[in-house]
Amino acid sequence: MVARWTRLGRVVVLSGMVVLGGPAMGQEAAESAVVEVRGATGDSSVSGQPDATPVRHEFTRLLMGVEVRILVWSDDAEAATRGAAAAFVRIAAIEDVASDWRASSELMRLCREAAGAEVAVSGDLLAMLDCAERVSMASGGAFDVTIGAVTHLWREAGREGRTPGEAEIARARAVVGFRNVVIDPARGTVRLRREGLVIDLGGIAQGYAAREALAVLASHGLAAACVDVSGDIAVGEPPPGLEGWRVAVASPEGTRVLVLSHAAVSTSGDGEQAVEVLGDDGEVVRESHILDPRRGRGVVGMHAVTVVGADAMLCDALATAVSVMGAERGRELIARIPGYDVLIVGAEGVAAPEGIKRTRD
């Protein structure tokens, strides 16, 4: 089996437009994965009344391997700068906790030390693992952060330009299972039941970072704010004089515009990274960078899943879970969670046309 790896560009932020995906997605799929963040006036960038005292301040920084964008409205430029700097520091701290690329991260230390022994962890790591466990249980294991050994296998294979063999995948999957992570919230400890288990928080950490950065901005008096961590978006109060932040989610059937405050949006799919696998029959299959823990392979046919709700961390995890579960079961999962909606664009087009429809306030 031959693999042709396609690494599409990271999220590009341009004139208020957050574009997920690239040419390799195809016209309909690329159009389906556009999230636009702007003020509720209808302008192409975040904006408000020109005579309002507060003005928009924008800050960007590369963190967690992606471009992080912060928008705030304030009449004090120095306060806006201080608040954004503190928010970036908070995100960097979360990266130090959750990275599976850095051997020195708290997460990687946990994976080395917690096999069979309780290890005290930080509040950040405990919060992410606790949320991950809840989503794993709700999704029947479709979301599973213990997939790290499989993630690392595919990552190494990608560097080598090949597809892992079935035996390699089976060995990596042998340690996968979310019930192998034992969390004691009261004691603040974690224990791993399997030697060699590797945790991958890639499906939840960016949403958590967006949520926490927004809280930091609020603590600095910057309530009208938006944090965008590569498509995991958290918004606070609307810009002054406006109904809310407008988030436009495009699909082949047309753009849906959400007017949001104190809410979050997360999009997952095969637009950021994918591998095109050429089988023995000559058929090319496009597999997402999102791995199905039950198969040890990339998800097929789910171009974009957008979840909207109150908590950016939960939205992030749910978007990944739905990508793995598929349209029908994914819609059923989201329907059981009050206050959350989903839009799914798959190989057959828009699979959940009634998903994202409500204005949140």
Per the CB < 8 A criterion, the answer to whether 258 and 267 are in contact is no
Tens of pLDDT, residues 176-189: 999 999 999 999 99
Q: What is the pLDDT of residue 302?
A: 62
Tens of pLDDT, residues 274-315: 444 444 445 544 455 688 888 877 776 667 889 999 999 999
Q: What is the pLDDT of residue 287?
A: 58
Q: What stretches of the chain show up as alpha helix (H) in DSSP?
A: 27-32, 77-98, 106-113, 123-138, 148-160, 166-173, 205-219, 312-325, 327-335
**Is the pLDDT at 361 greater than 80, yes or no?**
no
CA–CA separation, 303 and 36 (whole Å): 17
Phi and psi (nearest 5°) for 317?
-65, -40
CA–CA separation, 135 and 11 (whole Å): 25
Q: What domains are there in the chain, each with its CATH number? A: 1-361 (3.10.520.10)
Rounded to two decimals, the pTM is: 0.81
Identify any residues that bridge with 272 across adjacent strands, giving them in sequence order: none
Q: What is the pLDDT of residue 221?
A: 98
CA–CA separation, 304 and 317 (whole Å): 14
Over range 217-228, report the average pLDDT: 98
Tens of pLDDT, residues 315-349: 999 999 998 998 899 999 999 999 999 988 755 54
CA–CA separation, 111 and 127 (whole Å): 17
CA–CA separation, 304 and 33 (whole Å): 6
Which residues fall within 8 angstroms of residue 356, CB to CB, at 6 or more apart?
249, 256, 258, 306, 308, 341, 342, 343
Q: Which residues in 163-201 are b (16+ Cβ under 10 Å) and which e?
A: bbeeebbebbbebbbbebbebeeeeebbbbebeebbbbb
Closest CA to 238 of 36, 17, 54: 54
Structure tokens at 294: 């039950």
- DSSP letters along 146-183, please? GGHHHHHHHHHHHHHT-PPPHHHHHHHHTT--GGGEEE
**Is the pLDDT at 203 greater than 70, yes or no?**
yes
